[in-house]
Amino acid sequence: ARIGDLALNRADRSLWGVRHDNGFSTLVRIPYPYTEWNQVHTLPYGRDMFDLDIAPDGSALIGSMSDINGDQRLVRMKVASLLSGDATPEVLYEFGDWSPSNFVFSEDGSFLYGSSYYSGVSNIYRYNVALGRMQPLSNAETGFFKPVPLAGDSLVVFEYSRQGFVPSMIPKTVPDSVSAIRFLGNEIAEKRKDVQGWIPPGGAAVDRDALAAATTGYSTLRNFKLDNAYPVVEGYQDAAGNRGIAGGVRANFSDRLGATGLELTASYSPTQSLDASERLHVRAVFRHWNWNVSGTLNRADFYDLFGPTRVSRRGYSLATQYQGNLILDGPTSLNYTLRAAAYGNLATVPEFQDVTASYDRLATLSGDLVYKSLRRSLGAIDDELGSTWGAAVRGNYAGTTLYPRLSLDGSRGFLLSLDHSSIWLRAAAGTSMGDNRNDPFARSYFGGFGNNWVDYRGIKQFRNTESFPGLAINQVGGATYGKAQVEWVSPPLRFRKVGVPSAYLRWTGLSVFASGLVTDFDDRATRRGFVNVGAQADLRLITLSHLESTFSLGAATAAGKGITRTSALMASFKLM
């Protein structure tokens, strides 16, 4: 259970707090040594209690109480009565629409000190328990918060300033007056009476029948429109390694519901080293609810300008995809994807950028099933525990041959005793079920971190099955494979003040991993084994208050049958 607004009863060392669940607020007591909690009283629906404190002698509990209509009040309850089942609150003071905040007992229990926006700015107030009288103790301009009573005639308060909350001291004396805040809207309404006529009429004065519109069926086509269009720059690389920079335009269309959309991108590479038939690049993606239809011609991509991982391919393609959910009950989900695609004028295998295609035409049919149940604690920077598994069936048809493949993968994460630190175990296996297992369309390939120098995908690409840091991209392959990985995620190091308000660092984290890979494990003559160890450090950058970017550095070394020991470095910047 998550319990907040904790208050210590010094008489018996028990903790009291408020538990929120399904819209209800419940007073709970956690007896020493804090191994269990007990429900004391559940408030009616719509009523909440917060900012608890307990008298030094443990006799009474105070707190701020709010009702569903917005009324705010300071209340007191006898602890003995609460434990015997009587939760009737004694209202000490009605604050109206202004919430009482952080009221606490003085050391002798004769006064209560807290703050409220009762005057329009947060001022400190004192409640005399014996006299039942509330008095202001400050006349702040910017606001005082969270008073801490001291022995003598002073209070420690937090004063709001441009630098944040600054600890200050104020006397326990009542000021001559407390000035109300003047609101610009009220001042305008008083001086310009005509603006008061701008108030919309009440509900009773509106003729609802006159506002009713005729009910008609929704037409996606009638509501389909151009959202925006803008110039784009893309990267392209042919099978021979010649690179081109393409300039073009992208146009986005959608309906009002956002259930249907169309993305059109066209660009041209003037680079003379590219064949004339590969200089025009077109991509269209149409989506409607769970359906996705896409077509490409010499596909290019902006992120192919930055780094080793590429999606640009020669040729044309047409694909149809459907995605659905069998379970969608966060954090647990079970999703499936069905996809059919056709390719022509191929130079490389569509899945693997550095593998030459054995045929220039290809038809594929695939189905994927993915289960996820992942959790993280408050303050975590990544998933910390849980499990995932996936199964995929794919059939490649090229020439007159069908190349079916089956793959399975799974992962399990365990929390460690260190805060926000965990161990992850991952495993994957796959096999080609056709006769010709040496054809590129029948094999799976591995290698590389998977990150680009500038990227938009997840920062931990080394976790993917096809990644194997230390080897080059697609360096090794097999008709069958088995892969295992263990990863340790370190506790994050958080930065309190590094940067400026418009751009600052939030945290840095480290992952250390080791992997093992066996290809063609069912054939002793061609079987190969590989191992690697590596690490990746990530640095989170916040710009413009909420836009997140991540800078990553990685290093890994790998060794295996048929290759010398190799090492690789990775640097990547994930955009917002």
- Show pLDDT as tens, one digit a residue, over the chain (576 residues): 689 999 999 999 999 999 998 889 999 999 999 999 999 999 999 999 999 999 999 999 999 999 988 899 999 999 999 999 999 999 999 988 888 999 999 999 999 999 998 878 899 999 999 999 999 998 888 889 999 998 888 899 999 988 889 999 999 888 877 766 677 888 888 888 888 888 777 777 777 777 777 778 888 999 999 999 999 999 999 988 899 999 999 999 999 999 999 999 999 999 999 999 999 999 999 999 999 999 999 999 999 999 899 999 999 999 999 999 999 998 999 999 999 999 999 999 999 999 999 999 999 999 999 999 999 988 899 999 999 999 999 999 999 999 999 999 999 999 999 999 999 999 999 999 988 889 999 999 999 999 999 999 999 999 999 999 999 999 999 999 999 999 999 999 999 889 998 899 999 999 999 999 999 999 899 999 999 999 999 999 999 888 999 999 999 999 998 888 999 999 999 988
Residue 47 lies in a domain: yes
Please check whether residue 222 lies inside any domain of the structure: no
Model pLDDT, residue 151: 82
Provide the CATH number for the domain around residue 82: 2.130.10.120
CA distances from 335 to 172, 329, 391 (A): 62, 11, 11
Tally of domains in the chain: 2
Is residue 348 a contact partner of residue 278, using CB atoms and an 8 Å limit? no
Q: What is the pLDDT of residue 434?
A: 81
Inter-residue contact 146 to 122 (CB < 8 Å):
no
> Domain for residue 279, yes or no?
no
Give the per-residue pLDDT at 190. Answer: 86
The pair of structure tokens assigned to 173 is: 């004396």
Phi-psi region of 498 (alpha: psi -120 to 50; beta: other; left: phi over 0): beta
Report in angstroms the alpha-carbon separations of 236 from 274, 310, 384: 9, 8, 38
Q: Do you find a cis peptide bond into 331, omega within 30 degrees of 0?
A: yes
Instruction: Choose one of 164, 185, 206: the last residue of a domain.
Output: 185
What is the pLDDT, as a whole number, of residue 206?
Answer: 75
What pLDDT score was predicted for residue 141?
80
Residue 286 falls within a domain, yes or no? no
Identity of the residue numbered 342? A
pLDDT on residue 532:
97
And the tokens for 504? 């600052």
Q: What is the pLDDT of residue 98?
A: 86
Do the Cβ atoms of 272 and 278 come closer than 8 Å?
Answer: no
Residue 476 near residue 466 (C-beta atoms within 8 A): no
- Are 17 and 4 spatial neighbours (Cβ–Cβ below 8 Å)? yes
pLDDT for the residue 1: 61
Structural domain contains residue 193: no
Q: How many Å apart are CA 522 and CA 43, to the nearest integer?
A: 65
Q: SS3 for 191-235, per residue?
A: HCHHHHHHCCCCHHHCCHHHHCCCCCCCCCCCCCEEEEEEEEEEE
Q: Final residue of a domain: which of 151, 185, 219?
A: 185
pTM higher than 0.95: no
What's the CA dihedral at 304, 306, 307, 311 to 10 degrees?
-10
471 in a domain, yes or no? yes
* Domain carrying residue 29: 3-185
Does any domain span residue 215? no
At which of 129, 156, 185 does a domain end?
185
3-state secondary structure 413-457: EEECCCCCCEEEEEEEEEEECCCCCCCHHHCEEECECCCCCEECC
Q: Is residue 461 part of a domain?
A: yes
The Cα angle at residue 128 between residues 124 and 130, in degrees rounded to 5:
170
Let me know: does 54 contact 7? Beta carbons within 8 Å.
Answer: yes
| Amino acid (one-letter) located at 233 | V
Are 126 and 138 in contact, with CB atoms under 8 Å apart? no
